Structure 1
Amino acid sequence: MSSTPPQGPVTDASVSVAAPDSDEPRSLRIEDWLTVIVMAALALITFANVLVRYFTSSSFAWTEEISVFLMIVLALVAGSAAVARDQHIRIEYFAEGGSAARRKRLAQLGAVAVALLFGLIAVLSVRVVWDDYRFGETSPGIGVPQWWYSIWLPIISALIAARAVGLLIRRSRETPASEDSAGDAQP
């Protein structure tokens, strides 16, 4: 089998698809690896529970509790990666319309809103962790201290807030003129 190179001129659009995004932080590997690890753990736990249930007609009691915890961690870690990559939910009609200066201000406003929201969640969830610790709450499934689970909410929320501040800094450094020329190159 021989493969022939594509015929015709190579456009900037086809090259930019394969090129890595220079605006993306290199430290996103943390979120990417955490996502892989959590997904692998979820798959292994679920597979082990299915095997045990199939062969013994009973199941591990702890798998549901751990799986729910891991799914929450997965959602928060993915949210952090989405904020850092500027892929969070927005209304494209408003976010991509108008002048480059308007788009820049809206991007900055979105980053500030995300940073404030997750900063507030981080601060308020510390109280939840403290209450879990102070009152000795235990998890319903396996009876471990509840704060083992709840401690991750303020930590990952602070990470998301930091990612939003990083996005705000990156968006603030951009000049509207460079955004217009970058937007013209796209089909």
Structure 2
Amino acid sequence: MTSPTESGPVLDAASPLPPEIEAADEPTRVPLAIEDWATVLIMGLLACITFANVLVRYFTDSSFAWTEEFSVFLMILLALVAGSAAVARDRHIRIEYFAESGSMARRKRLAQFGAITVALLFLLIGALSVRVVWDDYRFEETSPGIGVPQWWYSIWLPIVSFAIALRALGLFIRRGRKTNYGDSER
């Protein structure tokens, strides 16, 4: 172990993460482990599908037809789930110069404005994508690669969009309650 002044903070043997990373997640009503485990499962599924396709292609000079279509779907779902985790953890993109300058009241208002803007955007995306899912179902659209019903893929856009909106609303509420926004970063 090194001292905090030599090469960073001293790590506790019981904690594998540095204190600033370990304390990064704020308490939420809905556990953040949902997005974490969904990310792990999606990444694992992507790795298995890709590995199986590589093996089949190597040994047979052909590939599974469904892997590309399903992998693209999983990557899109992964981006949405990761977006939900980023919103819940308040790790979304922002211009730090504006977000972390000024008074605490200004920083709090900017954080709330960002959270409510994200919530409104994903509520709109969710509402509009419900129509897309309905059209896919009603017109019996099939996927271009393997011919499964298209709504099997598109149903996840409104579900995850509404989840992101709810996470953003939760962030808005937490930022409204927080009295010392931004002090820990300074």
Tell me if TM exceeds 0.5. yes
Give me the whole-angstrom Cα distance separating, in 2, the residues matched to 1:74 and 1:162. 18
Counterparts in 2 of 1:90 and 1:152: CA distance versus 1, 3 Å: same
What's the offset of the Cα at 1:23?
1.8
The match for 2:23 among 20, 24, 27 is 20
Gaps of at least 5 residues in structure 2 are: 11-17
Tell me which amino acid in the other structure corresponds to 1:131: D
Letter of the 2:128 counterpart? L
Equivalent position to 1:128, from 123, 132, 138:
132
Residues 32 and 8 of structure 1, relative CA distance in 2, 3 Å threshold: closer
After superposing the two structures, state which structure 1 stretch, 67-76 or 23-32, moved more: 23-32
Q: What does residue 2 of structure 2 align with?
A: 6
CA-atom RMSD, angstroms? 2.0
- Structure 1 or 2, whichever has the larger Rg, is 1
Aligned CA distance change for structure 1 residues 16 and 52 (closer, same or farther; 3 Å): closer
Partner of 1:179: 181
Could you tell me which residue of structure 2 aligns to residue 144 of structure 1? 148
Identity %: 69
Specify whether residues 94 and 122 from structure 1 end up closer, same or farther in structure 2 by C-alpha distance, changes over 3 A only: same
State the Cα distance separating 1:180 from its structure 2 match.
6.5
Following the alignment from structure 1 to structure 2, what is the Cα–Cα distance between the partners of residues 102 and 173?
Answer: 14
When residues 181 and 85 of structure 1 are mapped into structure 2, their CA distance, relative to the original with a 3 A threshold, is closer
Indicate the residue corresponding to 1:108 in structure 2. 112
1:24, distance to aligned residue in structure 2 (A)? 4.2
Q: Does the residue aligned with 1:179 lie in a helix, a strand or coil?
A: coil
Q: Secondary structure at the residue paired with 2:32? A: helix
Ranked by relative contact order (alpha carbons within 8 Å, sequence separation 6 or more), the top structure is: 1
Structure 2 residue aligned with 1:31: 35
CA contact (8 A) 1:31 1:78 kept: yes
**Deviating runs (4+, > 6 A) in structure 1?**
none
Structure 2 counterpart of 1:158, from 162, 167, 178: 162
More helix by share: 1
Deviation of 1:17 (Å): 2.1
Aligned length: 176
Contact 1:24 1:84 in 2 (8 A): no
Q: Answer whether contact 2:143 2:149 (CA < 8 A) is retained.
A: yes
Q: Secondary structure at the match of 2:31?
A: helix
Cα separation, partners in 2 of 1:18 and 1:67, compared to 1, 3 Å: closer
> Would you say the 8 A contact 1:24–1:85 is kept in 2?
no
Mapped to 2, the partners of 1:94 and 1:8 lie a distance apart of 31
Distance 1:142 1:101, change over 3 A: same
Uncovered stretches (5+) of structure 1, i.e. residues with no partner? none
CA, structure 1 residues 56+161, in 2 after alignment: closer, same or farther (shift >3 Å)? same
The offset of 1:18, in angstroms, is 5.5
Aligned: 1:78 with 2:74? no
TM-score where L is the length of structure 1: 0.87
What is the TM-score normalised by the length of structure 2?
Answer: 0.88
